Structure 1
């Protein structure tokens, strides 16, 4: 349970750092790229075995890690497009609701138990995530053609979580986790550097030191959220569907409360109902 709590805490720190980006006018793309490079470096530092770059491509999980790295940076760009075209609320809901994909994967692929308490808790959790995440209208006109972007964010985010569980179960040994995450984050960072390079060639690049510092501040909790989530998934006391439900709902609930206390965000009645339902869903899923 301690790893699950640490994963939730790390993800909430990510929320706080992202909030501070706007306040300090940080270039999000540059910070995201340096975040991936920081997280990748952490993996190298935490790896206890002998480290040689030539041995990494020989690992069974290498191609999956590279694919995940590409998916990370792709989903980030899709989230940016969705925010511009449909609003931040739509991105938040699409990302959080994607938890249904790894939950269903755990239940049907791994044949995890689904009693009345867990089923009720999962349904209530999805309702809670929606109500806590959705905000008032942001003045962006609705267009059917824009629905593809939140749909892709939903699908991509769900695939990432599902893939992490599958790879952890099938390929990763206990000691491989840091170097696996290094490969995932390193791939995303390299792709991000290529994007920045293209901006530099088109003279659309303005470099500032604060973007590197912001990336470092983001990279540490980002690595932690992934590292502790995988460690939590290895705990036989809970099914993966239970872990993903509690992790996702816990992040939504705590980050929403942080938004109120630290950033004086105003919540609507539906947001408060969402928080209350989040507590109920965690209790039900835990008891199951």
Structure 2
């Protein structure tokens, strides 16, 4: 059980890092690039993917890996913007609600049977997402303690909050679908993870070089921390599934509910994030939807 608790803690810690990055004058794009280099090293050390067959991938697998290489850093940037503009609570909840997209894909693309329970869970999740996207008057514009923002910036932040939340939901949902499709075509998970981290890091690095980025030592160093937290979340999540091989529902549900619950406490207690009644209703609906969407 400790691996599951650690995975939840690492996930929330990533959101806290993204929340504090602006106040610490960290260039998040540079931190994300180093994050993937760190994740590659930790993946080689702890997961030990089979390197002898690493590049023996089918054309379909390489297509999926290429899409992941683009999506992973892009969605990380969107998540950073969401945490800054909409807060940890709503961003983490939007990320966890992204599970509805692979479930919809299973029904619509892979023609799995639709149960009444899952249909109700999907409807509940869509209602939760709508509630989360409702803009509270002050939540998105509430600065981190020690940070000040202008009135114009506050209004712009609130106006864009729903857009980045929708981007988080769509982005993480598409990544989940791609990883599930990778598993369907028989690619090994650890090798696929290593290749996707490597491609994401290379593309992010090339993008920064193309922009003639002025490198920032603090941002590069912070990427080591971000990479450790990000990989720790993934590693402990995998270990939790290995610990409970016959009960994946426990891991899925506990992870999603745990992140939403702890993220809510951290957002409200540490960063004084304000939610309106509709947002709070959305969090409650999200918790109910997660319970319904995973089979017993």
Q: TM-score range by the shorter chain?
A: 0.7 to 0.9
Give the aligned partner of residue 263 of structure 1: 271
Change (3 A) 1:79 1:265: closer
Q: Which runs of 5 or more structure 1 residues have no equivalent in the other structure?
A: none
Counterpart pick for 1:218 among 214, 218, 226 = 226
| Aligned counterparts, 1:58-69, within 5 A | 58-60=56-58, 61-69=61-69
Q: CA deviation at 1:136?
A: 2.2
Give the aligned partner of residue 184 of structure 2: 169
User: Is residue 97–residue 125 contact of structure 2 (8 Å, CA) maintained in 1?
Assistant: no
The count of aligned residue pairs is 273
TM-score by length of 2: 0.71
SS in 1 for 2:22: helix
Give the aligned partner of residue 70 of structure 2: 70
TM-score by length of 1: 0.73
Change (3 A) 1:128 1:149: closer
Give the aligned partner of residue 155 of structure 2: 139
Change (3 A) 1:245 1:133: farther
Give the aligned partner of residue 282 of structure 2: 274
Q: How far apart are the structure 2 equivalents of 1:158 and 1:228? A: 20
SS in 1 for 2:156: coil
| Aligned counterparts, 1:227-266, within 5 A | 227=235, 237-238=247-248, 247-248=255-256, 250-266=258-274
After the TM superposition, which of the residue ranges 1-10 and 216-225 deviates more from structure 2? 1-10
Give the aligned partner of residue 102 of structure 1: 102
Q: CA deviation at 1:251?
A: 3.2
Q: Which runs of 5 or more structure 2 residues have no equivalent in the other structure?
A: 138-153
Q: Deviations 1:238-272 (Å, cap 9, x if unpaired)?
A: 57xx9877755553343222211222222222232
Q: CA deviation at 1:188?
A: 0.9
Q: How far apart are the structure 1 equivalents of 2:79 and 2:292? A: 31
Q: How far apart are the structure 2 equivalents of 1:11 and 1:216? A: 16
Counterpart pick for 2:207 among 163, 174, 195 = 195
Q: How far apart are the structure 2 equivalents of 1:161 and 1:102? A: 6
Q: CA deviation at 1:5?
A: 5.8
Q: How far apart are the structure 1 equivalents of 2:262 and 2:130? A: 15
User: Is residue 42–residue 182 contact of structure 1 (8 Å, CA) maintained in 2?
Assistant: no
RMSD across aligned C-alpha pairs, in angstroms?
4.1
